[in-house]
Structure 1
Amino acid sequence: MLRLENVTAHYGTIQALKGVSINVSEGEIVTVIGANGAGKTTLLKTLCGLVSATSGKVYFYDKDITNLPTSDIVAAGIVMVPEGRRIFPRMTVLENLQLGGYLNRNKSETKANMERVFELFPILKDRLHQIAGTLSGGEQQMLAIGRALMSRPKLLLLDEPSMGLAPKIVLSIFDIIRQINREGTTILLVEQNAQMALSTAHKAYVLETGRVVMEDTAEKLLHNEQVRKAYLGEA
């Protein structure tokens, strides 16, 4: 479904990605874990066209999408929920969701997509006309994911969905991520909470200073001694 081949990316003279190759198969949850500054967010931004790849290729269903405009990548079926949620705080919940579905001109499909969002996040229906910036952190994360789902993405990119949330809310968000996947959406998850990420994903990559240093099934990496010491806080 998604294939990166030796992708590099720079911020000015700083090389943030150094020959990254990953594969995401349809129906999977794939996670990328790593410390702050490892290049995880840059990886997602490069997939979305927000950061230009300086070399290498990105393929989506065998089509070269390297450095396409972000609007074209969204239209192809790849949507990102950014780190920090990035909702529109002065708009209502409804207006945020409507913006997420702006590419779809079919009113019945848009309505069905919104109903699906309400099934996943019933609280959003209760908050429909509330200003989004007044929502709690967990509700804002739900809105950010719901907004992304309004376009019925084939591949959902999640950047640090647990950031800044209470542990109970994190568990709820990850339960919903699993449900979204079970209903047919492929997910590429970037997450600093390695325990949650590896417990949720099918396959995992470990990124260090812009390079993939390890890849395996998520279950094997969850029990890998090196990973446990480096990312799970175990001596």
Structure 2
Amino acid sequence: MLEIKNINVYYGVIHALKNISLKVQEGEIVTLIGANGAGKTSTLRTISGLVKPSDGSILLDGKEISGINAQEIVKMGISHVPEGRRIFPDMTVLENLELGAFLRRDKAEIKKDMEKVYERFPVLGRRRKQLAGTLSGGEQQMLAMGRALMSRPKIMLLDEPSMGLAPLLVKEIFEIIQDINSQGTTILLVEQNANMALSIAHRAYVLETGSIVLEGPAKELAQSEDIKKAYLGG
């Protein structure tokens, strides 16, 4: 479904991504783990068109997307839930969700999807007229995910969904990610909580200083002594 081939990204003289290659098959949860500054967020931003690679290729369903602007990439079926949520705090919950469907014109289907979001995240339904900036961190994360779902993505890019959340909320967010995946949305997950990420993912890639150093089935990587020492507190 999504294939990245030999992507290089520079920020000025800094070589942020070095010949990154990875694949995400339809229906999978694939996770990228690694330390701060490893290139995880840069990888997602490059896929979604917010950062332009200097070379390499990004294919969605076999079609090259690396030169396409971010708006068109959303239309093609990729939605991005950014690090730090990036909801619009001075707009209501409802208005944030409507913005997720900004590129769509199928009003009846948008209404159905809005109801699905409220079913999945009941708190958003109860607070639809509330300013998004007044929500708790966990509620804002749910809103960011709901907003992304409103574009009807084939694949969702999730950047640090557990950041700053209490352990019980982290568990809930990861259950929601699994539920979204079970309903047919493919997931590419960036997450510092490697234990949680590896527990729900099908496959994983490990990034270090802009390079992929390890890849494989998530359950196997979770048992790797090197991974345990570096990322799992083993």
TM-score, normalised to structure 1, is: 0.99
Count of paired positions: 234
Query: Following superposition of structure 1 onto structure 2, how do residues 4-43 of structure 1 map, counting pairs within 5 Å?
Result: 4-43=4-43
The answer as to whether partners of 1:46 and 1:67 remain within 8 angstroms in 2 is no
Matching residue of 1:116: 116
Matching residue of 1:60: 60
Unmatched 5+ residue regions in structure 2?
Answer: none
Q: CA RMSD in A?
A: 0.5
Task: Give the 3-state SS of the residue equivalent to 1:8 in structure 2.
Answer: strand
* Structure 2 Cα separation of the partners of residues 10 and 191 of structure 1: 22
Query: Following superposition of structure 1 onto structure 2, how do residues 143-222 of structure 1 map, counting pairs within 5 Å?
Result: 143-222=143-222
* Structure 1 Cα separation of the partners of residues 168 and 188 of structure 2: 22
Q: Deviations over 1:82-116 (max 9, x none)?
A: 00000000000000000001111111110111111
Code of the aligned partner of 1:177: I
Runs of 4+ in 1 over 3 A off after TM superposition: none
Code of the aligned partner of 1:60: L
Task: Give the 3-state SS of the residue equivalent to 1:37 in structure 2.
Answer: coil
Task: Give the 3-state SS of the residue equivalent to 1:52 in structure 2.
Answer: coil
Task: Give the 3-state SS of the residue equivalent to 1:95 in structure 2.
Answer: helix
Matching residue of 1:224: 224
Q: Deviations over 1:32-91 (max 9, x none)?
A: 000000000000000011111011100000000013100110010001000000000000
Equivalent pairs: percent with the same residue?
Answer: 62
* Structure 1 Cα separation of the partners of residues 19 and 101 of structure 2: 34
TM-score, normalised to structure 2, is: 0.99
Give, in angstroms, the shift of residue 4 of structure 1.
0.4
Unmatched 5+ residue regions in structure 1?
Answer: none
Query: Following superposition of structure 1 onto structure 2, how do residues 49-128 of structure 1 map, counting pairs within 5 Å?
Result: 49-128=49-128
* Structure 2 Cα separation of the partners of residues 67 and 123 of structure 1: 38
Task: Give the 3-state SS of the residue equivalent to 1:38 in structure 2.
Answer: coil
Q: Deviations over 1:110-144 (max 9, x none)?
A: 01111111111000000000000000000000000
Task: Give the 3-state SS of the residue equivalent to 1:53 in structure 2.
Answer: coil
